[in-house]
Amino acid sequence: MELSKRISALKPSPTVALNGKAKELARAGHKVFNFAVGEPDFTTHPEIIDVAVQALKEGKTKYGPAGGSPQLKDAIIEKLKRDNKLSFKPEQIVVGMGAKEILFHLFLATLNEGDEVLIPAPYWVSYTAQVLAAGATPVIIPMPEDHQAPRLTPEMIAAHVSPKTKALILTSPNNPAGYVIKKDELLAIGEYLKDKPWWLVSDEIYEYMSFAEPHHSIGALVPELHDRYIIVNGLSKGFAMTGWRVGYMAGPEPVAKLVKTLQTQSSTCLPPFIELASVEALKRGANLMADKMDLLKGRKNLAQELINSMEDVSMVPPEGAFYIFIDVRDALDKAPGYENHNSFKFSEYLLDTHHVAMVPGEAFGVPGFLRLSYATSDEELKEGLSRLAQALKDVKNG
């Protein structure tokens, strides 16, 4: 029997695969420094857990409404008004099983065969796969060579536009590069997009981890985009709730209606006890995890210092999220057998030989880089980055 050609062309998520390999090594008894995982190392706040436990005790274990309960939608609307200066109605909100599911349904709802989606590199690994699964074509906007240059400009976008362009994806703070698109840059992008008949998908899941400057939502800066602006967010990162699987979107009502329809035919709903805990988290907002964000910022500074001490290594200035995108191209240029900045090959060597897991740049559309998640302890960072430095020396020496 023949399988789906479209889905068979997809590859498994490289971050999930690498994290799985790191865990296999750990189960075999090796000490593994796993910097590949995209989640905080701290647990969900006890006050959020308490709400979920109480809801379970009260029997809140039945199906919930597809697309999110009225209570949770109201909490999202208040959060968007408070944090993002955005105004939405309940009919414009859809809650799903994580931002990843929301994005997948969103692409299925807005894209058609032959459409093109502009995706700036480096990009989160699932954007391209999900766009392809929806029958559309990802068009990659290359990353600037100069790490200090603006991350995305109207000129960079315009160079890749075609009559088939249907959408643009923005991610700020960025996964994997940790950069933040500045307010003036967002304004310039928004002005450029005013007369473009495209969907603007803004993934803002790392908003509470904007260390360089306050987070800005392009939809608030340029309200003229309201009829095509779709914000995607979730509770995984900012509230350390990765395993709870809570994501949501807010956007034009016809889009929300179709995304909700897809949800009725797939995961249906979130469990009510998780929804009630999510309401508590959203009401508390960024202040609930402020001490953890300060902790992450300190780890970022430590990791930067350690990376800056390495030879033939640089980085995209880390300004948000909990990632550093390490540029090892100069080092690999001096390493026999690593032609074309083959960071995938190097990441395999790094894990197999030095037991350090980092995601290679190829996964994000940019060979010659490694993504470091610094959401771990200072001790792990010091030893793991020491092993990275040694691994780079080893491959340069052949």
DSSP 3-state of 153: coil
- 127, two tokens: 């954007």
Q: Give the H or E element holding residue 170.
A: strand 165-171
The arithmetic mean of pLDDT across residues 103-109, rounded, is 98
pLDDT value at residue 212? 86
Is residue 397 domain-resident?
no
Domain that holds residue 376: 5-43+289-392
Is residue 36 domain-resident?
yes
Is residue 358 domain-resident?
yes
pLDDT value at residue 393? 95
The arithmetic mean of pLDDT across residues 4-21, rounded, is 83
The arithmetic mean of pLDDT across residues 194-211, rounded, is 97
pLDDT value at residue 26? 87
Q: Could you write out the DSSP letters of every residue in 347-386?
A: HHHHHHHH-EE-EEGGGGT-TTEEEEE--S-HHHHHHHHH
pLDDT value at residue 6? 86
pLDDT tens string 53-76: 999 999 999 999 999 999 999 999
CATH number at residue 349: 3.90.1150.10
183 and 206, same domain (yes or no): yes
What CA–CA distance (Å, rounded) separates 365 from 128?
10
Is residue 364 domain-resident?
yes
pLDDT value at residue 38? 84
pLDDT value at residue 155? 98
295 and 372, same domain (yes or no): yes
**Over the chain, what is the mean pLDDT?**
95
244 and 367, same domain (yes or no): no
Is residue 398 domain-resident?
no
218 and 335, same domain (yes or no): no
What CA–CA distance (Å, rounded) separates 128 from 205?
18
From the list 73, 109, 113, the residue with the least C-alpha distance to 91 is 73
- pLDDT band for 11, please (50, 70, 90 cuts): confident
Asked whether residue 328 carries a pLDDT value surpassing 90, the answer given is yes
Q: How many other β-carbons are positioned within 10 Å of the β-carbon of residue 219? A: 27
Asked whether residue 191 carries a pLDDT value surpassing 80, the answer given is yes
269 and 339, same domain (yes or no): no
Is residue 130 domain-resident?
yes
pLDDT tens string 30-45: 999 999 988 888 899 9
217 and 305, same domain (yes or no): no
93 and 181, same domain (yes or no): yes
78 and 168, same domain (yes or no): yes
pLDDT value at residue 39? 85
Which domain-ending residue is among 270, 285, 300?
285
**pLDDT above 70: percentage of residues in the chain:** 100
pLDDT value at residue 12? 81
pLDDT tens string 71-90: 999 999 999 999 999 999 99
Is residue 52 domain-resident?
yes
pLDDT value at residue 5? 86
- pLDDT band for 17, please (50, 70, 90 cuts): confident
Which domain-ending residue is among 285, 316, 348?
285
- pLDDT band for 128, please (50, 70, 90 cuts): very high
The amino acid at 103 = L
pLDDT tens string 132-148: 999 999 999 999 999 98
Asked whether residue 398 carries a pLDDT value surpassing 80, the answer given is no
For the stretch 132-169, what's the b/e string if a residue is b when 16 or more beta carbons lie within 10 angstroms of its beta carbon?
bbbebbbbbbebbeeeeebbbbeebbeebeeeebbbbb
103 and 60, same domain (yes or no): yes
What CA–CA distance (Å, rounded) separates 193 from 59?
48
Is residue 98 domain-resident?
yes
- pLDDT band for 52, please (50, 70, 90 cuts): very high
326 and 190, same domain (yes or no): no
pLDDT tens string 255-305: 999 999 999 999 999 999 999 999 999 999 999 999 999 999 999 999 999
**pLDDT above 90: percentage of residues in the chain:** 89
26 and 81, same domain (yes or no): no
- pLDDT band for 19, please (50, 70, 90 cuts): confident
195 and 222, same domain (yes or no): yes
Asked whether residue 163 carries a pLDDT value surpassing 90, the answer given is yes
CATH number at residue 230: 3.40.640.10
What CA–CA distance (Å, rounded) separates 371 from 346?
12
Which domain-ending residue is among 285, 316, 334?
285
Asked whether residue 21 carries a pLDDT value surpassing 90, the answer given is no
- Based on the structure, what is the number of domains in the chain? 2
